[in-house]
Amino acid sequence: MDHSKAAEIFNKDKARTKWHDETLWMVREKRDKAAHSVPDWEKLREAASNIKSHTLSNLDEYLKTFEDKAKKNGITVHWAADAHDHNEIVYSIIRSNNIQKIVKSKSMLTEECHMNEFMASKGIDVIDTDLGERIVQFRKEHPSHIVMPAIHLKREDVGETFHQHLGTEKGATDPQYLTEAARQHLRDKFIASELAITGVNFAIAETGGFVVCTNEGNADMGAHLASIHIACMGIEKIIPKMEHLGVFLRLLARSATGQPITTYSSHFHKPRPNQQMHIVIVDNGRSVQLGRPDFRNSLKCIRCAACFNTCPVYRRSGGHSYHNAVAGPIGSILAPNLNMRENADLPFASTLCGSCTNVCPVKIDLHDQLWKWRQVLMKEGYGSLSKKTGMKMMTTVLSNPGIYNFMGKLGRGVLRTIPWIAKSKMLNPWYKHREMPVARGSFKEWYVGRRGNR
């Protein structure tokens, strides 16, 4: 189902759409407050953008340095060309160690690779431990937001889900009570776990270590208790030096939730004695995106989701409408690179208002890229028939003054004499959420008339 159809379904629940819209805007406002309290904010964005651009321009060398240092630290490094490779590598570690109990903290990369589904097909159960991810996992859904995975749900939904899966009281909806139930349930999982999978926020070439940021502490509970830790990262997670963490950790949480920093910023460099530590470095289309000059900037993304929270389309259509692991404006730029045909609708899920570009902590030109993707997709023949014919008709009308004037008159005539046509939500989708104008005359008629009166 394409974005606009899915959004239409989401919009049917007006109260929930309004709540979703307002809640995400509240997060955007928290971000503003946090950003404005840092005098260096714009300088930090400049620095972050420069560090990432530089890194991308020397990425192969930094990847090699990182691998080398990580190996010296006692970490096993694996390379995965695509999602399937990634899943196979993780699976082979699980199988060769004869592992049954696995916990995972939030990793959008493993979502992108559909790792949980892959493991399920092999009969392996992976327990998501981020609260939001556990909620959507129970419900057999996917995260609708990369920072707040269950933002599409209300407390009543979570209460019902926990009642079914964790035996909480029927009808209980208090977040404190529900979170406590999840804490107890997942503590047991952490203590029993044999293998922990985490994502990576930043991988440091200079030191061969990586940083994982969480508020809940679930990545640490997993990684420090299990005897095997697998950290999965995209090739774009590299930063050159330790000192650059200062720039990124100052930006990340402030942009994401308005917190000054996440509760835990964990720096992993060496496994514990008798612990195995693995890193899986994944390409999955990133090197292709690197070769697209108009879109390579998207690889600077640090997954803060500030562009989601500010986006008028995301806020009113919900993350699932984007049918991609990463939704929102950044997801709409990343997804067509993975599959143009399946994701051709996403760059159109934007008003091109540019708010995403304004809030992006690493200065990705998001709305420009959305606009550029539209051109690529139309040129490659992935535009929908209605868009193609619509554009062709507009070209004819706009390049021919006679037709233009006639169409204008016709439109105003229709509004005046048979307004029900324009006000039919079926014939005129534009009318769904808008009022039609009162048609007195065109600007041209008004202008000519005004000149004649002089």
Q: Which of 1, 261, 393, 427 binds other proteins (CB under 8 A)?
A: 261
User: Which residue, among 328, 266, 274, has the nearest Cα to 303 in the 3D structure?
Assistant: 328
Binds other proteins by CB under 8 A, chosen from 7, 35, 47, 102: 47
Strands 264-268 and 238-239: unpaired
Binds other proteins (CB under 8 A): choice among 25, 41, 138, 264: 264
What is the sign, positive or negative, of the torsion defined by CA atoms of 66, 70, 71, 72?
A: positive
CB 137, min distance to other proteins, A: 12
Within 8 A by CB and 6+ apart from 303, the residues are 108, 146, 147, 201, 326, 330
- Sole window of 80-88, 314-322, 338-346, 403-411 interacting with other proteins (rule: CB under 8 A): 80-88
Identity of the residue, 144 or 350, whose beta carbon is nearer to other proteins in the bound complex: 144
Cβ closest to other proteins, residue 202 vs residue 348: 202
Structural Rg of the chain based on CA atoms: 25
Phi, psi (degrees; rounded to nearest 5) at 408: -60, -45
Stretch that binds other proteins, among 113-121, 130-138, 336-344, 426-434 (CB under 8 A): 130-138
Is 115 a binding residue for other proteins by CB under 8 A? The answer is: no
Number of residues located near other proteins, criterion CB under 8 A: 91
Instruction: Please choose, from the candidates 27, 129, 60, 56, the residue with its C-alpha nearest in 3D space to the C-alpha of residue 362.
Output: 56
Asked if residue 84 binds other proteins (CB under 8 A), the reply is no
51 sits near other proteins (criterion: CB under 8 A): yes
Q: Is 271 in the site for other proteins (CB under 8 A)?
A: yes
Diameter of the chain measured on Cα atoms:
92
In whole angstroms, how close is the CB of 44 to other proteins at the nearest point? 9
Q: What is the DSSP letter of 169?
A: P
Site string for other proteins, 210-249 (x = CB under 8 A): -----xxxx-xx-xxx---------x----x-xx-xxx-x
- Residue closer to other proteins by CB (options 248, 373) is 248
Residue pointed to by tokens 């049917």: 12
Q: Which residues, 6+ apart, have CB-to-CB distance to 441 below 8 Å?
A: 412, 449
Neighbouring CB atoms inside 10 A of 4's CB total: 15
Partner residues linked to 79 by β-bridges: 281
Stretch that binds other proteins, among 74-82, 92-100, 325-333, 407-415 (CB under 8 A): 74-82
In the bound state with other proteins, the residue whose beta carbon lies nearer, of 207 and 442, is 207
Task: Indicate whether 100 belongs to the interface with other proteins (CB under 8 A).
Answer: no
Handedness of CA 250, 264, 135, 156 (dihedral sign): negative
Residue pair 183/157 in contact by the 8 Å Cβ criterion: no
308: left (phi over 0), alpha (psi -120 to 50) or beta: alpha
- Looking only at residues 162 through 191 of this chain, which bind other proteins when binding is defined by CB under 8 A? 175-176, 178-180, 183, 186-187, 190-191
Interactions with other proteins, residue window 13-42 (CB under 8 A): 23, 26-27, 38-40
Q: Which of 296, 320, 323, 374 binds other proteins (CB under 8 A)?
A: 296
Is residue 43 near other proteins by the rule CB under 8 A?
yes
Q: Is 260 in the site for other proteins (CB under 8 A)?
A: yes
Alpha helices in 193-281 (DSSP H): 218-225, 244-256
